[in-house]
Structure 1
Amino acid sequence: MMEQAVEQSDVGKKELASVTQIVLGMIKTSKALRIYLPNNPVLIGFISDLGTRMTVHLARYGELTLDVEQFVLRYQGAQVYENKDPKESMASRLHADGIRTVFFDQGVAPAEIVAFLGVVGFERPSGDDDVVTQLWERNLQHIGYLTEDDFSDPYLLREAEDANQQRDALERIRQALTEQPPPAPRMIPKHLLMLTADEEEWLRKAVDLEGRCNGLDDVIRILATILGEVQEPELFADFAAILGNLAVNLVLAGDIAHAVKLARFLDRLQKLPITAPEQRQQLAEVLAAILSTSTVEVLKVALDGNEAAIEYGQLKELLLILGIPSLGSICELLGRVEKLKVRKLIVEVLVELGRGDPAVFQPFLSDPRWYLVRNVVLILSQIGTPAALKMILGLITHREPRIRREVLGFLERTSDAKAKTYILKFLRDESSPLRIKALQVLTRERLPFALKPIVALAGADDFQERPFEEKREIFLALGELGQESVLPLLREQLMKRYWFQKGNEKESVQLAALGLGRIRSRSALQLLEEARGQKKGSEIRSILDQAIASYVARQRSAGRGEVGA
């Protein structure tokens, strides 16, 4: 179409392309004015781009003149715009109000273009003034127009038989208009221009607040006000559902800040004494529906992705507001997120929610995901009530070793003396690392009730089949917990002879020496020295020499500690 237009006029391709882009920019900007708020980046970008194109064109080619037909805009006879829909056509609105030519002069500012498009860019309400009147009221210094009445000059009617004559006549009319003296400025009373310092400060703050205002805040405020005032049950239910859907969409969009505001309002309204029971139930259902499979998945992706996308404090407040009715979804989120920092935050929320009734976590202890169960054990251990302890102890025989290790870790950390006795159950655990861990805990904490079961382990038929590391911990525990009472048992272990199994004899001496090394009595040293005189073989004697030297060194160190004290 552009090439045909060039052939039909004297304008060059680049000049016509420039005009076409400007007209397209006007159309885009006028549509954006209907959709976006004034501070929206998209609208600001359109306005800036249009202003730049207009400035460059006027500097390069001079004044831009558009002839207006019913559905068409032309530039020097070339068609640059056409839209035959009267409700959408800019040309139709101009033509219908009698405007036949529009021109833009050098120096036109983006604000003038926006004001022009605000009048001609979209259909006005039926009660508004016509386009000509509105353009006249805005007094746009660098945008002019000629109406149908301007063409009623007899000279024009006589010489407008061809396009060239009409353009010449049009130029003469415009020249005459520009030569007219400007109207005298209206005098504004001086007192209307004066502002006090307080008024100026208030106005500046008001403008700043208006610039920072978010349209979404206004929507939430309006909907919340309606819901807070409405009394009719059906209307209340409808607006509660609208706010609930909005909250869900905010979470899906990652806008946790506004979702928290909305949830906070719904929660407060639910707890007001004046709110009817039926309305409280409806609000509770709305809040419970905010976290669902879809929102949990969106949150998981956001939380594991960009750390700056969600403010953790806002997320914590949202989860606390949703509370026990959303416990399943919150636990599901805990089971999905991978970031340690986020899991820690969710654990804190769940500890606070379950402190009054730990039984709410019972269904999650049978979840097939071991890491979720492990986190629930951590939550119960932090709650620390007898009821929570009972739930944890039920997992001592859990099929997953990592869950049993978490339970053992809780028993190690707890200060409940009765709970400590359950550590003995791990001495028969099928996992050797867990058995070793239990022995280490019992030894370190010097729990006397563990001595008898450990003596039984040392004399069990399957003792020789256990790994050496586990045997080592058994004899260390015997010496630490039994002291002089186990000397006979350790003597038998130390003096035992294996005529044809020297490896077993070496191991037996090593284990006995480990146990004797924990006994704080000179009888242990005497027993080691006695065995040193009876045992044969350089390797076994070397083991005993090392045990004696270590014992003497420990005793000297302990003696210095007593002196220092």
Structure 2
Amino acid sequence: MTQETLQQEDTIGKEEHASVVQIIQTMVKTSKALRIYLPNNPVLIGFISELGTRMTVHLARYGELSLEVDPFALRCQGAKVYENTDPKESIASRLYADGIRALFFDQGVQSAELTAFLGIAGFDRLSHDDDIVTRLWERNLQHIGYLTEEDFREGAPAEDSGTSGDQREALERIRQALLEQPPPAPRMIPKHLLMLNADEEKWLQGALEAEGRCNGLDDVIGVLAATVAGTRDPELYRDFISMMETLAVTLLLGGDMGHALKLVRFLDRMRQRSGITEEQRAPLEAALAAVLSDATVQTLQVALDTTDARTGYGELKELLLILGLPALGPICELLGRVEKLKVRKLLIEVLVELGREDPAVFRPFLSDPRWYLVRNLVLILSLIGTPEALRMILGLTSNREARIRREVLGFLERTDDEKSKPYILKYLRDESSALRIKALQVLARERLPFALKPIVALAAADDFQERPFPERMAVCQSLGELGQERAIPMLRELLMKRYWFNKGNEKEAVQLALAGLARVNGSAVLPLLEEARSQKRGGELRELIDQAVSEARAAKAGRKR
């Protein structure tokens, strides 16, 4: 590449340059297809659709597309975007030979206009009188313009005439002059041409209603599906699958879940055909794997959280299940982003289904820094419920995030798996007092006998007095619930203990002992309380014990009935 070419390409961005090159390549491909196929051929229709899409996207992003015509090349802003030195095959050569020096494609250009242009410029002339300029003038394509060599001569100053270096400056002067001209007066259509008889009017009305009911996307999808199913050319097969992938992603980004699902269903059916070769299946699986990307996940998250499209939830679920395990990462990412509860529930159902056979697929996501995502994965694993899933949950009992440990503790509370219950004991040493209390309450409520010995050790520990009062209360209640009459000696010692110089500690000790004794159902509780009342002669402590005595007597009377 020469230094001059490098300097020219600096005038246009790389992305814009690549976009123009793709448009020209698609033009050439469509031009060749126009020579080979009939107008209703799916291959030709696919090429025309691709060209229209590329042109529309480019014009929306960069504005008008201007091309300068050289003898064997086309340039955009001075940068070469097409070259073919074969006069019989070169579009640039045909345009240049007929005097065209510049082309313009404006926003709003339709596929029909592009097809008409290629039908004129993409073929050799039928006769010397049938030049490209004349035929373009006759067709009067509204969004495709051109300038001829004569236009440049008239637009350039006398001293600049004939110099190719100032071609683009002359082009700007000509276009500016055209913009300043007043628009032409509308042509009057003879009245007799507008007259329709009754049958023609009825037919036209029916045609308009049918056109209104028709969805162009359904037609495009049908054409693409028919082409992919029927083509035997490997290159065309891959090209059309790539088109379907691009269209599916575009539809998802546009919020059209229904049509995106149609495309995904078709690709899924194709890959499940009997007799399909690995070479045929590979592009189908690659296309399905590419449907969910960072861009589509972000767009889906915003759409699902900001709209109340409940009717589309079923379509979303089916779409995700078809995409399957290859899309596990994006689906988990979507779960980590959405805020709407119903959407999270749907995603959890999908992930349970996908991970049922092999829950180990979720292992990489359990170390995600987002605690709320891991919390949902714990729920997913608990719903799967296999031994492997349970082992993965139990591995999170020492996770550094307290909210994740709380979720695991909730699972241990709910599970019917007796082998998992001893893991609750790990929470008695948890750094969070709230989780230690929760674990004590679960152990007491479920009356798990293996927990008594560790709780007794906890109550007898030297640092017991330093623990928060609500935690000590939970320890004593668990001790009474699990130990019953075996816990009375320890609770009696706590109840009778005197604190001569710290009445606050004595009150706490009485409260703790009474809380534990309230959980004991034996007959030895009432005599102990009456003994304690005789020693605590008055004040607030006496009131606490009196109340406990009354409750114990009521409980004893209830048992006798």
The TM-score, its normalising length taken from structure 2, stands at 0.64
For residue 347 of structure 1, what is the aligned residue in structure 2? Answer: 348
For residue 552 of structure 1, what is the aligned residue in structure 2? Answer: 553
> Is the CA contact 1:411–1:423 (under 8 Å) kept in the aligned structure 2?
yes
- Find the aligned partners of 1:279 and 1:375 in 2 and give their Cα distance: 37
Letter in 2 for 1:232: D
- Over residues 539-565 of structure 1, what are the superposed CA-to-partner deviations in whole Å (9 max), with x where a residue is unaligned? 1111111111122233444555xxxxx
Q: How much identity, in percent, do the aligned residues show?
A: 61
- Find the aligned partners of 2:490 and 2:377 in 1 and give their Cα distance: 43
Letter in 1 for 2:492: R
For residue 398 of structure 1, what is the aligned residue in structure 2? Answer: 399
Matches within 5 A, 1:118-129: none
| Secondary structure of the corresponding residue to residue 195 of structure 2 | coil
For residue 277 of structure 1, what is the aligned residue in structure 2? Answer: 278
Shift of 1:274: 2.2
Relative to structure 1, the CA distance from residue 219 to residue 484 in structure 2 (aligned partners, 3 Å threshold; closer, same or farther) is same
- Over residues 417-455 of structure 1, what are the superposed CA-to-partner deviations in whole Å (9 max), with x where a residue is unaligned? 111110010011000000011011111111111111111
> Is the CA contact 1:483–1:518 (under 8 Å) kept in the aligned structure 2?
yes
- Find the aligned partners of 1:536 and 1:496 in 2 and give their Cα distance: 14
Matches within 5 A, 1:107-506: 139-141=193-195, 211-308=212-309, 311-506=312-507
- Find the aligned partners of 2:556 and 2:226 in 1 and give their Cα distance: 79
Matches within 5 A, 1:20-35: none
Letter in 2 for 1:282: P
- Find the aligned partners of 1:370 and 1:213 in 2 and give their Cα distance: 48
- Find the aligned partners of 1:333 and 1:369 in 2 and give their Cα distance: 12
Aligned length, in residue pairs: 390
Letter in 2 for 1:88: N
Shift of 1:206: 10
| Secondary structure of the corresponding residue to residue 462 of structure 2 | coil
| Secondary structure of the corresponding residue to residue 461 of structure 1 | coil
- Based on CA coordinates, which of the two structures has the bigger radius of gyration? 1
- Find the aligned partners of 1:89 and 1:494 in 2 and give their Cα distance: 101
- Find the aligned partners of 1:399 and 1:485 in 2 and give their Cα distance: 37
- Find the aligned partners of 2:412 and 2:263 in 1 and give their Cα distance: 42
| Secondary structure of the corresponding residue to residue 494 of structure 2 | helix
- One of 132, 140, 144 as aligned partner of 1:88: 140
Shift of 1:209: 6.2
> Is the CA contact 1:302–1:309 (under 8 Å) kept in the aligned structure 2?
no
> Is the CA contact 1:254–1:309 (under 8 Å) kept in the aligned structure 2?
no
- Over residues 259-307 of structure 1, what are the superposed CA-to-partner deviations in whole Å (9 max), with x where a residue is unaligned? 0111011111111112211221211110010000111111111011121
Shift of 1:341: 1.2
Letter in 2 for 1:477: S
Letter in 2 for 1:291: L
The TM-score, its normalising length taken from structure 1, stands at 0.64
User: How well do the aligned residues superpose, as a CA RMSD in angstroms?
Assistant: 3.3
- Find the aligned partners of 2:559 and 2:231 in 1 and give their Cα distance: 80
Shift of 1:231: 2.3
Shift of 1:32: 8.8
- Find the aligned partners of 1:542 and 1:359 in 2 and give their Cα distance: 58
> Is the CA contact 1:303–1:310 (under 8 Å) kept in the aligned structure 2?
no
- Over residues 464-522 of structure 1, what are the superposed CA-to-partner deviations in whole Å (9 max), with x where a residue is unaligned? 11111111111111111111111111111111122222221111111111111111111
| Secondary structure of the corresponding residue to residue 480 of structure 1 | helix
- Over residues 33-57 of structure 1, what are the superposed CA-to-partner deviations in whole Å (9 max), with x where a residue is unaligned? 9679xxxxxxxxxxxxxxxxxxxxx
- Over residues 154-195 of structure 1, what are the superposed CA-to-partner deviations in whole Å (9 max), with x where a residue is unaligned? xxxxxxxxxxxxxxxxxxxxxxxxxxxxxxx99x9xxxxxxx
Shift of 1:223: 0.3
- Over residues 121-153 of structure 1, what are the superposed CA-to-partner deviations in whole Å (9 max), with x where a residue is unaligned? 99xxxxxxxx99xx89x85339xxxxxxxxxxx
The 10-residue stretch of structure 1 (487-496 or 352-361) with the greater mean CA deviation from structure 2: 487-496
Relative to structure 1, the CA distance from residue 34 to residue 393 in structure 2 (aligned partners, 3 Å threshold; closer, same or farther) is closer
Shift of 1:314: 0.8
- Find the aligned partners of 2:483 and 2:332 in 1 and give their Cα distance: 46
Relative to structure 1, the CA distance from residue 377 to residue 494 in structure 2 (aligned partners, 3 Å threshold; closer, same or farther) is same
Relative to structure 1, the CA distance from residue 460 to residue 229 in structure 2 (aligned partners, 3 Å threshold; closer, same or farther) is same
Letter in 2 for 1:453: P
Matches within 5 A, 1:48-127: 86-88=138-140
Relative to structure 1, the CA distance from residue 325 to residue 559 in structure 2 (aligned partners, 3 Å threshold; closer, same or farther) is farther
- Find the aligned partners of 1:206 and 1:523 in 2 and give their Cα distance: 95
Letter in 2 for 1:272: R
- Over residues 79-125 of structure 1, what are the superposed CA-to-partner deviations in whole Å (9 max), with x where a residue is unaligned? xxxxx9554289xxxxxxxxxxxxxxxxxxxxxxxxxxxxxx99xxx
- Over residues 172-225 of structure 1, what are the superposed CA-to-partner deviations in whole Å (9 max), with x where a residue is unaligned? xxxxxxxxxxxxx99x9xxxxxxxxxxxxxxx9999766422110010011011
Shift of 1:323: 0.8
- Find the aligned partners of 2:362 and 2:558 in 1 and give their Cα distance: 50
Letter in 2 for 1:141: M
> Is the CA contact 1:260–1:318 (under 8 Å) kept in the aligned structure 2?
yes
Relative to structure 1, the CA distance from residue 221 to residue 387 in structure 2 (aligned partners, 3 Å threshold; closer, same or farther) is same
Gaps of 5+ in 2: 1-106, 113-135, 143-185, 200-204
For residue 511 of structure 2, what is the aligned residue in structure 1? Answer: 510
Relative to structure 1, the CA distance from residue 243 to residue 34 in structure 2 (aligned partners, 3 Å threshold; closer, same or farther) is closer
- Find the aligned partners of 1:417 and 1:447 in 2 and give their Cα distance: 10
Relative to structure 1, the CA distance from residue 309 to residue 530 in structure 2 (aligned partners, 3 Å threshold; closer, same or farther) is closer
> Is the CA contact 1:244–1:290 (under 8 Å) kept in the aligned structure 2?
yes
